[in-house]
Amino acid sequence: MLFGDGFLKFNNKLLLLVSLFLVIFSSFSVFAYIEVVDQKQEDPGGYRTIAINSGLMGQEFTPTMSPLIAVELYIGTSYPDTVGDTITCRIRELTITGTILGTASQSVTNGFDGWLRFDFAPHIPVTPGSVYVIELHAPGYIFCWYWKSGNPYPNGRLIDTGSPVTEHDFAFRTYSYIEEPEGVPSPVGGEIFQIDKLAILTPYIIIIAVLTTATVLIKKRKH
């Protein structure tokens, strides 16, 4: 006989283990990771600062979520006749000269004007309610950072050449993420990274079907 009692016993045990895994896995909630904006001042205001490389330029912010995964800053070209440049974004703790917690850089082409995103890898753990600073630097006098007057962001201050300016704020967004149970509507604007439960279970369902069919056929041959 091609398949004996030993194979049947092994087959039955394997079938039981796979079935048990499916039952346990299906009982857990599956979460989607949703990217959300935490802090923001989205109005560029039409004002351009002096060039970014003027030194110690930044924006304070007070997060309500952790970790910090990215920031977006509204950047413009000050001198469109020049070549591009590399802009570096640092996240500092407490002050513009505080501990650097994360760094990201972007190569920006001449003429750029709009939201520029910096992703941090690894993500930066932050303490909700504490003050952090987005510092921006570029080697050349090419790009600028838009700002708005009237203190539009009360939870932080614009920093120009190392000095806080209470009545102005740069245009910025900070990003974190939340875990959302499957089936719960996501907030508008969130980027959803779904975990497909069916795609995970399909290979195991196929294994169960094959093992069950083999077991039935072998039992029929024995009888």
* The two structure tokens encoding residue 179: 């875990």
Together in a domain, 217 and 161: no
CB atoms within 10 A of CB 51: 18
Together in a domain, 51 and 117: yes
Predicted confidence band of residue 53 (pLDDT cuts 50, 70, 90): low
- Asked if the structure places residue 132 within a domain, the reply is yes
* The two structure tokens encoding residue 104: 């990201």
- Asked if the structure places residue 189 within a domain, the reply is no
- In degrees, to the nearest 5, what angle opens at C-alpha 163 toward C-alphas 153 and 65? 40
Together in a domain, 62 and 162: yes
> What is d(CA 33, CA 20) in angstroms, rounded to the nearest whole number?
27
Together in a domain, 139 and 154: yes
| pLDDT 10s digits, 11-51 | 666 667 666 665 665 555 555 678 999 999 999 987 666 56
Together in a domain, 23 and 81: no
Handedness of CA 191, 60, 143, 74 (dihedral sign): positive
> What is d(CA 206, CA 202) in angstroms, rounded to the nearest whole number?
6
The CATH number of whichever domain residue 149 belongs to comes to 2.60.120.820
- pLDDT score recorded for residue 196: 46
| pLDDT 10s digits, 167-219 | 999 999 999 998 765 554 444 444 434 444 455 556 656 666 665 665 555 55
> What is d(CA 40, CA 61) in angstroms, rounded to the nearest whole number?
9
Contact between residue 120 and residue 169 where contact means Cβ atoms under 8 Å apart: no
- Asked if the structure places residue 92 within a domain, the reply is yes
CB atoms within 10 A of CB 26: 10
Together in a domain, 123 and 61: yes
123-154 core/surface letters (b: 16 or more CB in 10 A; e: else): bbebeeeebbbbbbbbebebbbbbbbeeebbe
> What is d(CA 202, CA 193) in angstroms, rounded to the nearest whole number?
20
Together in a domain, 161 and 217: no
Together in a domain, 21 and 56: no
- Please state, in angstroms and as integers, the Cα–Cα distance from residue 181 to each residue in 1, 31, 142, 195, following that order: 50, 5, 45, 10
Together in a domain, 17 and 37: no
- Asked if the structure places residue 158 within a domain, the reply is yes
* The two structure tokens encoding residue 63: 């997060």
Together in a domain, 175 and 215: no
Q: Give the DSSP H or E segment for 222.
A: helix 197-222
Together in a domain, 169 and 125: yes
Q: How many domains does the chain have?
A: 2
Which of these, 71, 146, 152, lies nearest to 116 by C-alpha position? Answer: 71
Handedness of CA 88, 89, 91, 92 (dihedral sign): positive
| pLDDT 10s digits, 66-111 | 999 999 999 998 877 677 889 999 999 999 999 999 999 999 988 8
State the residue range of the domain holding 57.
Answer: 33-181
